[in-house]
Amino acid sequence: MKQIRIGLVGVGTVGSGLLQLLEKNREIIKKRNNLDVQLVAIATRTPERAKAYTSLPVSSDVISITTRPDVDIVVELIGGTTTAFDVVHSALTHGKTVITANKALLSEKGDELFSQAWKNGVELGFEAAVAGSIPIIRTLRDGLSSCEFEVLCGILNGTTNFILTKMEEENWDYSVALKKAQDLGFAEADPTFDVEGIDAGHKISLLSSLAFREKVPFGDLQVEGISKLKSIDILSSKSLGYRIKLLGISKKTSGGILTKVHPTLVPLNHPLANVMNEFNAVYYKTVESGAGMVTGKGAGALPTASAVLADLIFYASKFGVKDSIIENNIFPKSKKAEEKENAARYYLRFSTLDKPGVLAEIAKVLGKNNISIASVQQKEVDKEPVHVIVLTHSATEGDFKKSIQEIDEMSSIIKEKTVAIRLLENL
């Protein structure tokens, strides 16, 4: 039976989950995979927490794990992009295969780390970095490796999906739903990375690079979050036959790869619309296989730890195999498509004075910029501002931006900045 020695760096939520799974499933792994996975070293910045899960000596020197000769695979679960980078880089330099759940690290500094892994003939596994328990990395890399991707999009952040679900189901305002998410442990005390779309941006950056075999840098992404949404947007969208989701979207265009994160009106009959609460989903379309979707728990100790353990088993199984192929995650940089030329339909919410001629003024600006109105909805209210909701026909995003800027400057009738949300089309 093959023995694999593991060094764990970080015993937070996912790290503690991994310790539980290693203890619980060790005998199952032996029977199924003929592997004896042995945890031989632990380092964490909070040693006292680790002692609740293991009797092994625990070090606070996280770099020390990466140089130990009795460690075959280093598991990095501390997060962030500074110390984590030092840990992963050191481990790869010293000939260790590394498993990580760190999407920010790989999205922002992956080029250097993947190059270091390739240079030293070792692996860098990151199944747990995107969508928790969903095996999307292996699906893109292996299951769909023969396919040409057209579109990849997904609900990639459980916190925002939970908030949007509660805003709809409970008719809560954004702030109330966020507080509930924090109380349940779905959202951090500082939720910025989640609610402003940064976390989803890191994830779609990684997924896009794998799907299109071209590097999609996080810095090239347009990222919008959900913090400006109000319950009226959630409920109005539902009445129009849509549900708002925060999506990471990447698609191949004639001008290059267009990748972005933003709230999106998803038709209620689309499979993504029915992914609720903290669940994640990844939807794809390829030339050869058409459309498909995978879904599951996108976060949490045990779901994410199960993906870490799956990587451990996969890469451990390759140890000692003659002519085993090292995975190459180094891709040429993609050509960034110009967003202003992209065609889209929009949901627009204008907050206006309650007086005659307002809609005519708005329609005049839209028409001047080649934007045609598909439908209009206005709810009767007792006080200003009045909310006028417009669904448009397709037009370029550049024309939408010009129109919204001009309308928002009409201070004689517009009381708040326009809320603009794209519709999901042709997916």
User: Which of 203, 251, 252, 285 is an active site residue?
Assistant: 203
Q: In the 8-state DSSP scheme, what is residue 326?
A: P
Q: How many Å separate Cα 65 from the centre of its chain?
A: 29
C-beta of residue 221 within 8 angstroms of C-beta of residue 205: yes
In terms of DSSP H, where are the helices of 121-243? 136-138, 158-169, 174-183, 192-195, 198-212, 231-239
Q: For residue 298, what are the contacts with CB-CB under 8 A and spacing of at least 6?
A: 131, 132, 133, 134, 155, 156, 157, 158, 161, 278, 279, 280
Determine which helix (DSSP H) or strand (DSSP E) holds 417, and give its type and residue range: strand 414-423
Closest among 345, 366, 349, 369 to 427, alpha carbons compared: 345
> If phi over 0 gives left and psi between -120 and 50 gives alpha, with beta otherwise, what is residue 307?
alpha
Whether 203 sits among the annotated catalytic residues: the reply is yes
Torsion angle of alpha carbons 159, 165, 171, 172, nearest 10°?
A: 0
Reduce the DSSP state of residue 400 to 3 states and report it: helix
Residues with Cβ within 8 Å of 8's Cβ and at least 6 positions away in sequence, in order, are 15, 18, 19, 39, 41, 42, 43, 65, 75, 77
- 117, 315 Cβ separation under 8 angstroms: no
Closest CA to 110 of 145, 137, 132: 137
- Residues 6+ away with beta carbon under 8 Å from 102: 76, 77, 78, 79, 80, 81, 84, 88, 126, 129
Say whether 401 sits in a helix, a strand or coil.
helix
Q: Is the peptide bond before 217 cis (omega within 30 degrees of 0)?
A: no
Tell me the catalytic residues.
Answer: 203
